[in-house]
Structure 1
Amino acid sequence: MKNRELYKVRPIKDLKDMLNSSAELYGDKAAFLSKPKNGAAYIPISYKQLKSDVDAMGTALIELGLKNRKIALIGENRYEWSISYLSVVNGTGVIVPLDKELPANEIELLLKRSQADAIIYSESVKDKIELLCEKSTSLQYFISMDREENKGNILSFHLLLQRGHELLKEGRREFIDAEIDATEMSMLLFTSGTTEAAKAVMLSHKNVAENLMGMCSMVHIDEKDIFLSVLPIHHTYECTCGFLCQLYRGSTVAYCEGLRHIVKNLKESKATMMLGVPLIFESMYRQIMNQAIKSKGEKKIKFAIKLTNALGKIGIDIRKKIFKQIHEALGGHIRLFISGAAGIDPQIAKGFRELGISLLQGYGLTECSPIVALNRDIYYKDEAAGLPMPNLQVEIDSPDEDGIGEIKCKGSSVMLGYYENPEATAEVLKDGWFYTGDSGFIDEDGFIHITGRKKNVIITGNGKNVFPEEIETLLNRSPYIKESLVYGKGQSDGDTVICAKIVPDIDKIKEDKENNLISDEPIEKLIEKEVKNINKTLINYKHIKEITIQEEEFIKTTTKKIKRHEELKQ
């Protein structure tokens, strides 16, 4: 790795070993900053308290008869979710995290498919979950994070936790002494997709522990860091990289109250790091730059960036001083943003770095626990997905003349397979290699570059491959385009036309028209001009020939990825 040494990490066998050793190492330090009620101040919860609560909850779940059973978990990012996750995987059974945004019928279907025996849920999904109480499902227990009392088979999480603490005082040790088989399935995670198509990924402690050690050896994270947890925690990206990783490294996790509260929570928690997806960082960057230009003027901002870049080349870093207002607007402590779930425009990463905030991107899949590649804080390429994890072999399958082919990987963080789906498992796991379904290439420095999803590629009449993601990145750079979706449309002559669905940024267009920065012409004309300019930068066969403009934003997953196939069905 270009003689750049990896950071030292402590070896862990499994997540139980991780939690026990972290509680010993970091004891009274805050593991979490939690808000009991919206708007109240953050309250710290120590590592010691966390371990004690996990042991108590695990002991209580075993007393209920849930040893070696599957337990579903659904709710927002909060302390009770974290205790539940760890108390199930560290000695009780198999955890099945579910997406709280799913409709009730889809939740019911996933509970059936996973054969869950109990569910732990929060008030925000009470109506969807308690509907199932009246139905004859396999669920024995409904455990509510917010109820004060037990009622039939609906149990209060807090009373259960209390019971667990009493059992521990009586000397019950079934949970504490439970042995972990690090190679067995302990997590069952549904990939985002329709419920029928969603695959249930089987992961083990070893998969996740290896991923944690690999990731932390590439990017420096320590006990001085405070993470703002923003993305949905049922998703393996946030769960491994924004929850388990922090507990492993002795950091503190502050729970965000919702996307609207990111800036407020960054300030209150004094967060130093945050995981996000391109859509979050792109809109943050646009807002920051628009405000900075409004208050200082575009020329001054451009000059400040040029000046700090020039000084940076001779080892003088004054970015935090020059862009003090921007840093303060983000809470004043942010040092690192990490982007995942989809490729980010390299200009956004470069833009944040010019302001004195590092933004690194990584690449992963649920099936890989999740990280496959990561840019390092000391060695990165903004246009690349990153360098392969130290415990993974990554290769390109059947590369074409440009070196582009399907990315495949092999190693200790690759899943055990898809639950009760040997056919789907055999399709992606061959001779120990996991075939990702993503196309890309590896450059001479070993960085992985993603060109797009294999199934999204548009093949033109003359056999050329066009990756829609590349054109979408260019379209989304226009200040007047909020979102875009590029696809191919077959013609009767056998050719394929490149088309784009575009959501304009109405507010920005309105503002620039009012300030006489653009002419008062119809939105369609303005967007057509933007597309024409982008076409000039593209080779002929990639030119966008048809555009459709729509006001409503595209349908997205909870990690803010556009549901391409649902959009194109309409």
Structure 2
Amino acid sequence: MNLYNVIIGKNTENTDKIAASITMDNGEQRSYSYSMLFEKAKLYAERLKNVGIVNGDRIIIVADNSPEWNIACLSIMKLGCTAVLIDASLTTEEILRLIHKSDAKCIYTTPKIMEKLECVTCEEIPVLDIMNRGNPFKNRTSYITKNTPEIFDGDENIAFIIYSSGTTKSASGIMHTHYAMNETIKMTADENELSCEERILSILPSSHIYGVVCGLLGAMMLGASIHYLESISNEILIATFKQYKPTVFPCVPKILELFQKQIIKKIESKKGTKYIFKVFFPICKIIRKKTKINLGKVIFKSIHKGFGGDLRVITSAGAPLDESIVEFYYGTGFNVLVTYGLTETNIPTIGNRFRNIVTNSCGKAYPNIEVRIANKDDKGAGEIYIKSPYMMKGYFREPLADKAAFEEGWFKTGDVARIDYKGNINIIGRCKDNIVLATGKKVAPDDIESKYINISGVKEFIACGVPSSGADYDEVHAFIVKDSSLINSEDILREIQNKGAQLSLYMKILKVHFIDEIPMTSLQKPKRYLLKKYALENEGKSKLDEKDSQSKTNMLTIGQEVIDIIIKIGGLNHILVNNDSKLFCELGIDSLGAIEISLQIEEKWGVRIDDAFYQDITISEIVEIVKCPQRRKSMAYDIYPKNKTTANYILFRFHCILAHLLYKVNIKNHNNIPIDSGYIICANHVSNFDYLWLTMQFRKEQFLNFCCMAKTELFNKSLSSQLLAQVCGMIPVDRGRLNSEAMKCCVRQLKEKWGLLIYPEGTRSNNGKIGLLKKGAASLAIEANVPIIPAYVRGSYNIYPKGKKLPKLFDWKHMRKFNVDVIYGEPIHPQNLTIEALTKLVEQSIVALNS
């Protein structure tokens, strides 16, 4: 049988229906009906024939998700060939290794991936552009040269060879037949009541078994529609849910975890919704468990609308999903099908069903699949062995790996589980050495170790997965025995950094432990479980953590905290990360990681950064956005300060009169302010009313030619913000530093005989006392050659201290108006003074005014 014929037969009456579509990053969409899909597949198949492809040949697809990926796959199946699926996110070296290992005769790829493959010469293998009607890339051959050897083991029954680390020691080609894939999808659809009416939103790579079954083939064999995204971001996902209204959403646990955090945060932002959720969530969850009645879908309808409103099924696979997250979605009315399967066993193998969802396990084996627990311990836990008609045919050209993977017909998964009294299977760990990353990807330690050979001074190097604190995935640690205790550890770390910089993200070492001896078995294999134990017992004490530990003894800056977040989410080594590191093209952060980074930053500082991401964004740029969100786009300093009008002055005088009525304001030495030159007022800063107190006696001309420095957070598009900026003559500046554009703007106004208000402390006082003065005001005074007028505001802190939402209007304790005193000091001229000396003199003057 051939899946192409099955898909054609299923969709004879669906020709005008949208089969596949995609949303691009610029918002544009591209879609294909089934008739268009099949026509394109015929065209692509002709291209394959033109380059000499025949029945049984192996054709590589290495590309990101798109409808054209589906077309290429159909064209391969149409010719009775085998599709070799390679993850497009791999490095050039890894892709090339798998190309040669697969012994394929042609490659489908995209211009983006083609940049990685320029070293594939035209004499070796034709490369076709998946985005350009399957045509060969320009300047490349359109045929196979005569000296190319014929494939001797082609098999038209093999639909896919999927390269995965799986449970073997290195990436192997896992072969699946047309028959097994067809039976898997039919069985899955029947068990979960899926139909041709489904709209599937797929964010899973089509190069993985999960993406093939639940996305690519699942959609076409149902006659359903599937939608892809060029890249994943928080905004794009939300917009796609709203517009596309999917009914099925296959994803990985990390996505569900991110969504849950967002929803909980929104719920807790309002007292009303927080109370409703607290009361009704446990009720909905209990009722559903007891009666199967899904009240959550009604009570929490607004949450469902966020997912488009039509979502019937969410599948989660690839990595463990925390029970609390499953409980959250269950109680709010969603059907999350926690599923287990491997590339070798096909997916699903074990899982919850649409009509039978449990939250504390991945459910039971699917029909015709046998599961047994081998080598049980005293608690009934042991390795999962599986027999299945949907199983792989074997590893491509690896008979020894086939033999090692099976025992009397049972496939040894390497995962540990126990079966509860209801027959549900609980996955509790792994007995093999593979490292499971946050994405669900499994990595063989041997593969990682092979990338770090020949490091000077290293006697033994062992890679090991160590469970990440509070998570269900591993961090990649290295355990090193040095040749000599005299070897400099920093030199070893530097060489690890250099090697890691050339590798994929999952190959990078997060932590290094220098130890005296590697524990070995009698067969001289490393006892990795003892190394894991050592790492967990000495958490935070490894060599690579010394720098972090030392820095964390002091209060972390925002920059350091941002770097910590990126290191943790990206699974990165801190020696690889600095302020100039580029988030995507250097550190290899993927779209899911970018979402999690943006969510954590928003949760910590209340600043959204996902809409500011671009390919070359650096950590320092992210830090700048966190410190000052309005700096996503550079400030147009030439428009500041905005020109004031008579209407602005009238509004200002109104507030002055109102303040005089409410408070007793005394202003001393106002005549110290010059009228024939520019000047800088340096005052203590204790409340939001300080500007008003300091300018209350300004005449109209003084008011119109007076400006102040203000934090950029105050500049937004609201009318009140724009009016305040104009009335006060605000110039935007980052707190804590003067950038060159703001400096130039201030100097310009001072030389035009304007007055400038600066709070040299940089922020409002927390306790009403004067803090440490910064040097910006002194620098400006020297640059513009204008005097500084020291000033002290007394009593304002009692009226409107920092942290209070509203000012006090009356001193009820003493039954009187609040007193406010403003005292101006003598002008301080900057001639012959250094910045430090002038700053010190200003500070002494302000303190003296207070006394």
TM-score (norm 2): 0.50
- Give 1:111 shift: 0.5
Write the distance in 2 (CA, Å) between the matches of 1:349 and 1:110.
Answer: 37
Q: CA deviation at 1:553?
A: 2.8
> Comparing 22-31 with 205-214, which one deviates more in the overlay?
22-31
Q: What is the rounded CA distance, in whole Å, between the counterparts of 2:226 and 2:539 in structure 1?
A: 38
**1:361-380 superposed matches below 5 A:** 361-380=338-357
> Is residue 208 of structure 2 the alignment partner of residue 235 of structure 1?
yes
Q: How do residues 153-302 of structure 1 correspond to structure 2 at under 5 angstroms?
A: 153=140, 184-192=157-165, 197-260=170-233, 261-295=236-270, 296=272, 298-302=274-278
Deviation at 1:381, TM superposition (A): 1.9
Asked if 1 retains the 8 angstrom alpha-carbon contact of 2:387 and 2:411, the reply is: yes
Question: Larger C-alpha radius of gyration, 1 or 2?
Answer: 2
Shift of 1:344: 0.3
Cα root mean square deviation, aligned: 3.8
**Structure 2 counterparts to residues 6-25 of structure 1, below 5 A:** 13-25=1-13
- 1:143 counterpart = 2:143: no
Counterpart in the other structure of 2:441: none
Distance, in Å, in 2 between the alignment partners of 1:298 and 1:491 is: 53
Q: Which is worse superposed, 250-259 or 184-193?
A: 184-193
- Inter-CA distance 194–86: structure 2 relative to 1 (3 Å threshold): same
- Provide the rounded CA distance (Å) in 1 between the counterparts of 2:360 and 2:468: 11
Compute the displacement of 1:150 (Å): 5.7
Q: Deviations over 1:403-425 (max 9, x none)?
A: 21111111221111111111111
Query: 1:49-80: CA deviations, max 9, x gaps?
Result: 32332233224323431113211111111111
8 Å CA contact 2:110, 2:130 repeated in 1: yes
Relative distance call for 1:346 and 1:45 in structure 2 (3 A) is same
* 1:158-192 alpha-carbon deviations (Å, 9 max, x no partner): xxxxxxxxxxxxxxxxxxxxxx987x323111104
Give, in angstroms, the shift of residue 19 of structure 1. 0.6
**Residue in 1 aligned with 2:414?**
437
- How far apart are residue 343 of structure 1 and its match? 1.1
Output one character per residue of 1:89-109: Cα deviation in whole Å (capped at 9) or x when no partner.
233411111111111121111
Q: 2:305 is matched with which residue?
A: 328
Change (3 A) 1:146 1:126: farther
AA partner of residue 264 (structure 1): A
Higher relative contact order (CA 8 A, sep 6+): 1
Contact 2:180 2:389 in 1 (8 A): yes
Q: 1:51 to 1:72 in 2, by over 3 A?
A: same
Measure how far apart 1:490 and its partner are.
Answer: 9.5
| Cα deviations by residue, 1:20-45 (Å, 9 ceiling, x for unpaired) | 2221243322222234x543454542
1:343 equivalent in alignment to 2:320: yes
Equivalent residues in 2 for 1:387-536 (5 A)? 387-455=364-432, 472-473=470-471, 496-497=533-534, 498-499=536-537
* In structure 1, distance between residues paired with 2:206 and 2:101: 21
Deviation, 1:301, is 1.9
Partner of 2:451: none
Query: Given the alignment, which residue of 268, 279, 285 partners 1:303?
Result: 279
Match of 1:98 in 2: 86
CA distance in 2, matches of 1:55, 1:442: 48
For residues 334-388 of structure 1, give each alpha carbon's deviation from its aligned partner in whole angstroms, at most 9, with x where no partner exists. Answer: 2221100011011111101222221111001111223211211111222212211
Per-residue Cα deviation, 1:434-460 (whole angstroms, up to 9, x for no partner): 1111111223333222111212599xx
Matched pairs, number: 465
Contact 1:341–1:559 under 8 Å retained in 2: no
Q: Assess, with a 3 A threshold, how the Cα gap between structure 1 residues 434 and 287 changes in structure 2: closer, same or farther.
A: same
Letter in 1 for 2:95: I
- Do 2:162 and 2:174's aligned partners in 1 also have CA atoms closer than 8 Å? yes
| Distance across 1 between alignment mates of 2:19 and 2:242 | 18
In structure 2, give the amino acid aligned to 1:28. Answer: D
Q: 1:120 aligns with which of 108, 133, 136?
A: 108
In structure 2, what is the Cα distance between the partners aligned to 1:427 and 1:194? 10
Q: 2:196, 2:405 → 1: CA distance?
A: 38
SS of equivalent residue, structure 1 residue 328: helix
State which drifts further: 147-156 or 74-83.
147-156
- How many percent of aligned residue pairs carry the same amino acid? 25
CA contact (8 A) 2:66 2:230 kept: no
Query: One-letter code of the match for 1:204?
Result: T
Question: In structure 2, how many angstroms separate the alpha carbons of the residues matched to 1:259 and 1:154?
Answer: 35
CA contact (8 A) 1:487 1:499 kept: no
1:534: which partner in 2?
none
Shift in alpha-carbon separation, 1:218–1:286, aligned structure 2, 3 A: same
Q: Which amino acid is 2:430 matched to?
A: R
SS class of match (2:269): helix
For residue 407 of structure 1, give the secondary structure of its aligned residue in structure 2.
strand
Q: Report how far residue 314 of structure 1 moved.
A: 6.5
Distance 1:447 1:486, change over 3 A: farther
Q: Deviations over 1:224-255 (max 9, x none)?
A: 22111101111111111122112222221011
Amino acid at match of 2:175: M
Q: Per-residue deviation at 1:329?
A: 2.2
Q: For the structure 1 residues 499 and 14, does the alpha-carbon distance in structure 2 shift closer, same or farther, using more than 3 Å as the test?
A: farther
In 2, Cα distance between equivalents of 1:200 and 1:39: 36
Task: Report whether the alignment pairs 1:152 with 2:139.
Answer: yes
Q: What is residue 33 of structure 2 aligned with on the other side?
A: 46
Distance between the aligned counterparts of 1:406 and 1:316, measured in 2? Answer: 36
CA distance in 2, matches of 1:57, 1:353: 44
Instruction: Give the CA deviation at 1:298.
Output: 3.1
Conserved 8 A contact 1:360-1:382: no
Q: Does residue 65 in structure 1 map to residue 52 in structure 2? A: yes
1:129 to 108, 117, 125: 117
Local SS of the residue matching 1:349: helix
SS in structure 1 opposite 2:120?
Answer: helix
Other-structure match for 1:163: none
> Is 1:27–2:27 an aligned residue pair?
no
Match of 2:358 in 1: 381
CA distance in 2: counterparts of 1:315 and 1:390, whole angstroms: 23
